[in-house]
A and B are shown apart, each in its own frame.
Chain A
Amino acid sequence: MRRTLLSTALTLTLPLVMAGAAQEAAAHGPTRQKVTESIEINAPAAKVWGQIKEYSALQSWHPAVESSETTDGNNVGSVRTLHLKGGGTIVESLKKYDADGMSYAYKMEDPGPVPVTNYTSTISVSAKGSGSEVTWKGAFYRGDPNNNPAPERNDEAAIQAVSGIYKAGLGNLKTLVEGK
């Protein structure tokens, strides 16, 4: 049953992955942008990592994600499909996973409604004082990589969207972990 569900999900998401790859190959603008957001949490790093370590469990701590599934759990190459509250789907593949270093990195194969292209990201937890700090970093190009993009697909829109995703996730993570 589970296998059937997964293969159904794969069949559904594969065209999206391929559409994303084609879009990326067409061109990307010459100016890459980056966003770094971090938050201090009054809990041990191991406890915070415990909350975020499952690549398949973003919906358990990010308020914008309704549900998700992965093709291969926390193994490099695993593709996760995020279903967003209010509609929209994001497809991302896992590029690095370091349980000892409490960090993982992934790449968007299909950005769905997020106005970015060629997006890579790393999230990591480290000890800080008696608590911990979570850092979420992204590198990406704007949604429209051509000259003179529309305002909703330009560099500023891309930075604002990514920063908003990180802040919402980190804020909710802090509330969840400190409230437990």
Chain B
Amino acid sequence: MPLRNPLLLLALGAVLLPATVAAGPWAYITNQGSHDVSVVDGATLTELRRIPVGRSPAGVAVSEAAGKAFVSSPDGPSVSAIDLARGTTLERRLPSAVVGIAASPDGHAVYLADWYRNRLLVLDAATLDTRHEVAVGRAPAGIVAGADGRRVYVANRDDNDLSVIDTDTWQAMDRVAVGEHPFALAVTPDGKTLLAANVMSDDISVVDLAAGREVARIGVGTAPYGIAFDASGERAFVTNQHASTVSVIRLASRTVEATWDAAEYPEGIAWSPGRVWVVSWMEDRLQVLDDRSGRPVASVDLGSNPRGFGPFLAATAPAGSAP
């Protein structure tokens, strides 16, 4: 009798046919040495293709809202947008080298950090035309948008602080002091907390976004470089570039609960259910670790000098992938 309910039948179908719902995610990883982006299929753990982009691509920001993977190429200098479904690319030249890149939550804007000119560039996500330039601190690196889209945060590496930018006025409204040489930034899924990876002081700054200040410092391994959260935001995963490890942070207690061995020079990092994805710059490969034990479960060869600096996982299936 209960099986007459069509919704329940659908739900049962999903349970009985896990292969059809477990496809993806797909990783878009910048290869700075081979000037392209590796697309890795998370179901088969194989590299599907390499998409040529600008010179020395480093930063990446996948936006499901925009349906694009945005890529910064500091030696172009240029920005590229890869259409997730079609695989087509659009590239625009920029005036100066850019590394950090992020997309607005609504997918309408792309943010780039202009390394030499100390500015945040705000681009139209559809056309990649520059709409605004905002003065920030010295050597701006990582960027992250606040969850509600009203703020953008930029790591000023050489000023040891963050610029807080209002997206209504496009003015820098505040600076928040953090550790030495902040590079990667990430905001927790609930939008309340920002983490900054301080490359020189070997720690993570915990910033309370409502209070607008650093509230804790968590020591990790040498040269922390990338940050990812699990879906619940209970744990953060940090790559330690010089230690070749991943630190697992328990956010409620602000403690490091585990340190896992990783391949050499781990940089970009992402989380998907059951997995932590780690890009090894030195070994030219992607390592997939079990997200509870840290054990390596797969390795996928990439192009040369891969970075994957930014959120690189996409849920949208690319053209030509298995249904």
Contacts and interface: CB of A to CB of B under 8 A. Distances in A.
Interface of A: 25-27, 29-34, 95, 105, 120, 137, 139, 146-147
B139 A27 contact: yes
A33 B304 CA distance: 10
B222 A95 contact: yes
A26 B115 CA distance: 12
Q: Say whether chain B's binding surface is mostly helix, strand, loop, or mixed.
A: loop
B265 A31 contact: no
B265 A139 contact: yes
Contact of A31 (B75, B116, B158, B282): B75
Interface in B272-323: 281-282, 305
Q: Can you list the 7 inter-chain pairs with the closest CB atoms, starting with the nearest?
A: A30-B74, A31-B56, A30-B99, A30-B97, A31-B75, A30-B115, A27-B139
Interface residues of B, number: 19
Contacts of A147: 96-97, 116
B193 interface: no
B50 interface: no
A166 B75 CA distance: 27
B213 interface: no
Interface string B73-114: 011000000000000000000001101000000000000000
A31 B281 contact: no
B38 interface: no
B58 A30 contact: yes
A27 to B, nearest CB: 6
The interface centre, meaning the residue of A30, A32, A147 with most chain B CB atoms within 10 A of its CB, is A30
Nearest to A31: B56
A52 to B, nearest CB: 20
9 contacts: A25-B158, A26-B158, A27-B116, A27-B158, A29-B97, A30-B115, A32-B32, A34-B282, A137-B282
The interface centre, meaning the residue of A27, A32, A147 with most chain B CB atoms within 10 A of its CB, is A32
Nearest to B116: A147
Contacts of A137: 264, 282
B217 interface: no
B242 interface: yes
Contacts of A29: 74, 97
A29 B281 CA distance: 16
A72 B46 CA distance: 47
Contact of B32 (A31, A95, A120, A146): A31
B56 A30 contact: yes
Contacts of B58: 30-31
Interface in B17-43: 32
A174 to B, nearest CB: 24
A179 to B, nearest CB: 32
B281 A120 contact: no
Contacts of B75: 30-31
B32 to A, nearest CB: 6
Contacts of A33: 305
Contact of A120 (B139, B242, B305): B242
A146 B265 CA distance: 23
A70 to B, nearest CB: 20
